[in-house]
Amino acid sequence: MATPQKPTNNLPEYIVEGDNVMPLIHSVSFYRKQQNQVSTPPVRQIIRQPVIEEVEPKKGDDSEAVRRKTAELQEEVNKQQNIISQTSQALNLCMSTPEFSGSTEQVEAEKVLLVATHRRQAALHELQRLRVEKTIRPQLSYNLPIEKGTLSISNIVLPLKAKYVKALAAAGGKGHHVVCLVKCGDQVVPTKLVSTCVQNAKNPDTELSIPGVVVLNDIYSDFTVTFEVYCLQAQEEFLPHEVKYHIQKKSGGKLVTPKKGKQDSRMVMPVKESPAGPQAVRTSSFAMMGYMVFSVQAINKKVWTLNNTPPMSPLEGTVEMRISCEMEVSVEHRGFLTMFDDVSGFGAWHRRWSLLKGHLLSYWKYPDDEKKMPPIDTIDLKNCITKEVGPVSRDVCARMHTFLIERERAISPNDKDSLVIICKGDKTIIRHLLSADTKEERIEWCQKINAALIATRMWGNRK
C-alpha cells in the first residue's frame, strides 16, 4: 500500500468561484489574522456643524464689510461735524440778536446741535471699536444668534413733579422744552420736541406725553439701548413773526423796490457777540435730566427709573413707554416631512412638502403647491414650548427619524384630549410629530428649527 504524499508547502493556493480561478495574494491564515485585528468595520460618519456656526461670518470674510462700515462712519463723522459748525453759527447769531434770543428757532437749533453732537460721538466710538476688534459685531457677541431685528418705542410718558406743576400753573406759560435721545451702537434717534405748558390752570397735566414712534433698525438680539432725557428752560416769545423778520406790510399803491442805503439794515445790530467770535463751535444748552439702559430681557417692562436725575429737575424721575420688537429670522429650509395626525381616534401619517421660513413652518401636499395656493396649515414657532427639538424616544413614537414640536395656546371649549392634543388647566398643548426620510435630513431639520427657536426666544418671545 502506497503511503500518501504530503502536500508541498510552496504550491500556490487558489480561489475557485464558478469557472473563474484566481490566485490568493495572502494565505488563509494571514487573512484570518488580519481580520481579527480589525475590531469593527469602518462606519460612514456625517459630521455637521451647528447652524449658528454655519451662518456666522468668518473673520476673514468680515474685512470687506469692516472697510465699508469704516468709510461710512468716517463720512458720518464729517457730516455731523459740518452740522455742528453750521448750527453753532446760527446759535451765535441767535444769542447776539434780540429778535431771536429765546425764540423757537433758537430752541430748534439747540436740538439739532444736541443730536449732531451725540451722533458724531457715537460714530467715533464705533470707529474706534472697528479699528481695534476688526469685526462688524462686538467680539463678546459671537456666541449668540446673528439675527437682526427692529425695535420700536412708543407711548413715552414722563411724570412731572407735583410742586413743579403747581408752580407752573400759578406762573402760566411754558416751563421747559424736553427731548429724548434713544441710542444703540452708532444709532442716535431723537424724539419730537415737546414743552411743559399749562393747558388748564385749574386741572394742569401732571405728566408729559411725547408723541410719535422711535425706531431702531438692524440691531442684534443682544442689543443695549440707552434712553436719555434732556430739558431746556423755556422763554416766552413776545415778538410776532412779521416783526422778528422785519416783514413790511404791502401798501395799496404801486410796489416799488426801495433803494437800500449804505447804513440801512433790517436787522437790529447785535447787542453782544460770542466771546470766541461768530465762528465759535458751541455745545448744546440742553441739560440731561436722567437716563436708563435696557436690553431685550426687559422689553416687557412698562415703567423705568431714571438714573442721575438732578434735584431741580421738573421730572419725577421715572419714564413709561411701550417697547415692541420685530425680528428678522433668516432661517429658511425646504423638504418633505411625514406628519402624524389624529383621524377619528386613529393615527395617520401624511407626507407633506414643508417650508421653514423665519419662525413659521408651513406645509403643502405637493412641492408645486407652494407657489400656487396657501399652505394646508402653519406651525408658529413663537408658541413652541419645546426647549430643544431632537429625536424622540421609541416610547413616544417607534417611527424612525421622528422629532417632536409642542405648541401651547389658550384652551377653547371644543378642546379635548386626543392623540395630538393635551388639555392642561387653562392651556392646550398641541403635539406635532414630524418624520424625515433619512437620519441626515432629520438632523438638518432639527438644526434649522432650533436656530429659528433660539433667534425667536432671544427677541423676547418666550413661553
pLDDT in tens, 296-336: 888 889 999 999 999 999 999 999 999 998 877 778 999 99
Shared domain check, 345 and 229: no
Number of domains in the chain: 2
Tell me the pLDDT band of 170, cut-offs 50, 70 and 90.
confident
Shared domain check, 200 and 160: yes
Distance CA 284, CA 115 (A): 9
Residue entry with cell 406759560: 173
> Parallel, antiparallel, or unpaired: how do β-strands 346-357 and 377-380 relate?
unpaired
Q: Residue 127: is its pLDDT beyond 90?
A: yes
Shared domain check, 429 and 293: no
**Short-list 458, 462, 115, 133, CA closest to 295:** 458
Give the pLDDT of residue 62: 75
Distance CA 303, CA 274 (A): 42
Give how far the C-alpha of residue 48 lies from the chain's centroid of Cα atoms, to the nearest Å: 28
Which CA distances in Å does 406 have to 191, 236, 412, 441?
42, 63, 17, 20
Q: Which residues pair with 227 in a beta bridge?
A: 182, 292
Shared domain check, 291 and 411: no
Burial class (CB in 10 A: 0-12, 13-18, 19+), 175: buried
Q: C-alpha grid cell for residue 236?
A: 416766552
Enclosing H/E stretch for 209: strand 207-210
| pTM as predicted | 0.69
Would you say residue 339 lies in a domain? yes
pLDDT in tens, 443-463: 999 999 998 898 888 776 544
Highest mean pLDDT among 23-32, 251-260, 350-359: 350-359
Distance CA 270, CA 390 (A): 77
Give the pLDDT of residue 317: 94
Distance CA 433, CA 405 (A): 7
Q: What are phi and psi of 171, to 5 degrees?
A: -85, -35
Give the pLDDT of residue 44: 47
Tell me the pLDDT band of 78, cut-offs 50, 70 and 90.
very high
* Rounded mean pLDDT, 219-247: 77
Shared domain check, 288 and 353: no
Is 152 within 8 Å of 219 (Cβ atoms)?
no
Would you say residue 31 lies in a domain? no
Shared domain check, 340 and 450: yes
Shared domain check, 80 and 229: yes
Task: State the residue range of the domain holding 214.
Answer: 60-236+279-328
pLDDT in tens, 352-406: 999 999 889 999 999 999 999 999 999 999 899 999 999 999 989 999 999 999 9
Give the pLDDT of residue 52: 41
Shared domain check, 373 and 307: no
Enclosing H/E stretch for 458: helix 439-458
Shared domain check, 361 and 324: no
Torsion of CA 137, 139, 140, 142, to 10 degrees: 70
Distance CA 135, CA 62 (A): 6
CATH number of the domain enclosing 299: 2.60.40.150
CATH number of the domain enclosing 417: 2.30.29.30
Would you say residue 9 lies in a domain? no
Which CA distances in Å does 398 have to 340, 362, 421, 446?
12, 25, 19, 18
Give the pLDDT of residue 270: 46
**Short-list 421, 379, 461, CA closest to 149:** 461
**Short-list 341, 342, 373, 343, CA closest to 355:** 373
Start-to-end Cα distance in the chain: 96
Lowest mean pLDDT among 72-86, 319-333, 337-351, 389-403: 319-333
Mention every residue, 6+ apart, whose C-beta is less than 8 A from residue 390. Answer: 403, 446
Shared domain check, 216 and 364: no
Tell me the pLDDT band of 148, cut-offs 50, 70 and 90.
confident
Shared domain check, 171 and 306: yes
Distance CA 231, CA 214 (A): 18
Torsion of CA 369, 373, 377, 383, to 10 degrees: 110
Q: What angle do CA 102, 105, 110 make, to 5 degrees?
A: 80
Q: Residue 200: is its pLDDT beyond 50?
A: yes
Give the pLDDT of residue 50: 41
Give the pLDDT of residue 249: 59
